[in-house]
Structure 1
């Protein structure tokens, strides 16, 4: 049985998958040109922002799996997906990997140290839990920017904060089933 901390990370990974699903489903309504159109944000477009989220997810998940080739890929990001339809499938696969990783954790593995490979420097080890916390914060940070960018289009930005609370189950139930997530 999962402890509170493990359950929390599994829930955060589920929320991540659900939020990505909602945001990218909305972005599928955009043409590739609208998806790539210059907008105000840390990255210059929805395309660049959402592709960045995927690249960082893949990098961190590979590092969490202790993949010895992760550093070689640091400067070789995955393909830049030109539209939300193609990006959706790749992000969904990445989200599933993160959920699966979190489901396999224990208190002991979450406390283990891991050095996140970086070019030209060796940072001190961080715990698996700290790396997961950082990854979730990174995703939330950039999804918020993408959400704001989407508001400057003709597509209504989706609600991204209905995942955890009781009384809002009907607002997420169908999508949780579609994504194979447990009902919360």
Structure 2
């Protein structure tokens, strides 16, 4: 049996849930690390789990701010390490994930065409995008850096979590409890 093809807005709502589910799994693993291991220098673009996960949160805040027209813009990046401890970072990421789910749940296909202004700084200025272009960019950014965090976890005593079994119907029974927690 095949799942019916849904509207594009429904796909973004599913992506927001996948994002939250993946973050929950990744953070569950990272929370077992000591604060020192979380901040320890590792090989990656952002050279620690601490820096990588803070970067994900800050970029999420930046794009979400633009999506909801909040006006903070680049000021969001004033502190490169907003949270030094994973135990403090996780509640902030979880709350933003909840806000993103609510935002995506409220979308319809017309709302995906709404103009979004993104402040790119004095050298570039304001860019016009659409909700339907910003959301996939945000999700791909998350996936990209979660993959780096996953690889960094492989260099610790903590097993990296499975992050790619969200959408297939056959995987549903294995993740039912976790998905219920996102509701």
Q: Could you tell me the TM-score, scaled by structure 1's length? A: 0.91
- Structure 1 residue runs of 5 or longer lacking an equivalent are none
1:118 CA displacement:
2.0
What is the number of equivalent residue pairs in this alignment? 177
Pick one of 148, 152, 163 that aligns with 2:151: 148
CA offsets 1:56-103 (integer angstroms, 9 cap, x no match): 1111111100112x1262442486222222211111000001111111
SS in structure 2 at match of 1:167: helix
Q: 29, 34, 47: which one pairs with 1:31?
A: 34
CA distance in 1, matches of 2:118, 2:74: 13
CA distance in 1, matches of 2:83, 2:49: 11
3-state SS of 1:107 partner: coil
* Residue 41 of structure 2 corresponds to residue 21 of structure 1: no
CA RMSD of aligned residues (A): 1.5
Q: Which residue of 2 aligns with 1:114?
A: 116
* TM-score (structure 2 length as normaliser): 0.91
Q: Using a 3 Å threshold, how does the CA distance of structure 1 residues 5 and 77 change in structure 2: closer, same or farther? A: farther
Counterpart position of 1:80: 82
Q: Which runs of 5+ in 2 are unaligned?
A: 1-5
Q: How does 1:19-168 map to 2 (within 5 A)?
A: 19-68=22-71, 70-71=72-73, 73-77=75-79, 80-120=82-122, 121-168=124-171
Q: In 1, distance between residues paired with 2:130 and 2:47?
A: 32
Q: Which residue of 1 aligns with 2:3?
A: none
The match for 2:8 among 2, 5, 12 is 5
Maintained 8 Å contact 1:23/1:157 = yes
